[in-house]
Structure 1
Amino acid sequence: MTGPSRHERLDVVQSHRDSHGVVLVLYGDLDAGTALKLEQAAAQLFNTAYPPEVLFLDLSGLSFLSVGGARAILAVHESAGMSRVRVVTGDRPAVREFLHATRFDAVLDCYRTRMGAIAAGSRSEFMSRVKTIWEAG
């Protein structure tokens, strides 16, 4: 009998979808051997007639994150097109510290909680705030 495939070490679960965003929660190990599973899940969302305005990648269920996994997150970020990608690190110091030590957090839009990521607002809310600031100045 053979053991589980490398793909099975990562579960990517769509936990929520509405008109503004989709939440993908990652459970298990995100590394070079499982990165393709994340990239394919994101590509399915981005390559539709109505891609999400925001993709929330919730990493709070990860038990392991490698450089290969962080590169997969960056690849999802770079392939998002008009969608925004927000990364939720959760209460996993290893995930937050890894993204900080590798400086991926300087490129990615990272939040400690899902509520914080959601509270950051939509693109239309952001543009409205920018317009208000410009008009006031």
Structure 2
Amino acid sequence: MKVGSMVAAALLLAGCSGGAEPSVSDAWVRLAAVPERPAAGYFTLHGGAKAATLAQVAAAGVARVELHESRATANGMMAMDAVASVPVPAGGTVAFKPGGYHAMLFGVPGSVKPGATLTMTFRFGDGRAVEVPAKVVSAGEAGPE
């Protein structure tokens, strides 16, 4: 009887340990006001059953994407710093939004226009990749927040 209870408990725990993986929602890209300047990408990361790390973002046709974090300087000006990765807590969320974390998209093709969808690929530290469509908006347009 004890062995049966132990097996049942082990099966229950095994079923729980494979919980949700990290995911991404609400992705959108704001094009630059000046052609040839970088666009900005925003989205929400959702942690899975275990803590994860966002290691890289790529976008279809875009030369390169960098992760950045905005911050206020001592004199009240805004600055941004490149970050190598972003931790995603288990069960938590990390919002990439104007004034905080964001992705800078360098070399966006001229064919990418407002109203289009750009496929973004999010790579996590464990090698997992998640593809998400991102709505493209113009420089002056509010995002779909």
TM-score range, shorter chain: under 0.3
TM-score (norm 2): 0.24
| Higher fraction of strand | 2
Highest RCO, 1 vs 2 (Cα 8 Å, sep ≥ 6)? 2
Structure with higher Rg: it is 2
| Higher fraction of helix | 1
TM-score (norm 1): 0.24
